[in-house]
Amino acid sequence: MDCVCNRKLSRRTTLSLLSMLALSGCSMFSSSRYKYDPVNYNSSLGSRVLKTAMTQYGVKYAYGKSSPSDGFDCSGLIYWAYSRHGITVPRNTSGQSKAGKWTAARNTRQGDIVVFRVGKSLHTGLVADKGRFLHAPSSGGYVRMEYLNSAYWKGKIIGYRRIV
């Protein structure tokens, strides 16, 4: 039996593959982890906290860490971003899930903390815009944006906390 990889490609197949490569440009060779639609910031303190956190976009996830040099876990990113603005929030997800005041989903603003229940654990992120949030997801991951209404996250939201 012939291995498919040893077969000669037809001219038509070769041209199709080359066309796809040309149309894709450099995007297939670059990391998609650094791509996101720009955030529409405003002048609020919460927006400035979010903008600070966004400077860490692409930084590796690191359990128990809260610095650009070591990486971040979810609560560490929030702790670090707020601390850059002189605001103290709890360092862990449990504390962040109770910090500030509860706010309804329809009233969220940039910089509000979104709290998720993932299995038996809590997870936190920062509300951005366009239904998105910024977070440090898990081991092997990196600080990134995701949609609150995605199939994975939508059913896991347990609340929003307003710090500022």
Residues 52-67 have pLDDT tens digits of: 999 999 999 999 999 9
To the question of pTM greater than 0.85 for the whole model, the response is no
Q: Which residues contact 130 (CB under 8 A, 6 or more apart)?
A: 37, 40
For domain 33-162, give its CATH number from 3.30.430.20, 3.40.50.10540, 3.90.1720.10, 2.40.50.140.
3.90.1720.10
- Residue 36's pLDDT is what? 75
Q: Which residues contact 6 (CB under 8 A, 6 or more apart)?
A: none
- Residue 159's pLDDT is what? 98
Residues 85-126 have pLDDT tens digits of: 999 999 999 999 999 999 999 999 999 999 999 999 999 999
Q: Is 118 helix (H, G, I), strand (E, B) or coil?
A: strand
19 φ, ψ (degrees, to nearest 5)? -65, -45
Residue spans per domain, the chain? 33-162
pLDDT surpassing 60 at residue 37: yes
pLDDT surpassing 80 at residue 21: no
How sure is the predictor about 83, in pLDDT bands with cuts at 50, 70 and 90? very high
User: Minimal CA–CA distance to 83: which of 39, 105, 52, 62?
Assistant: 52
pLDDT surpassing 70 at residue 33: no
pLDDT, averaged across the chain: 85
Alpha helices in the chain (DSSP H): 11-24, 45-54, 74-83, 93-96
- Residue 34's pLDDT is what? 54
Query: What is the average pLDDT across 28-54?
Result: 79
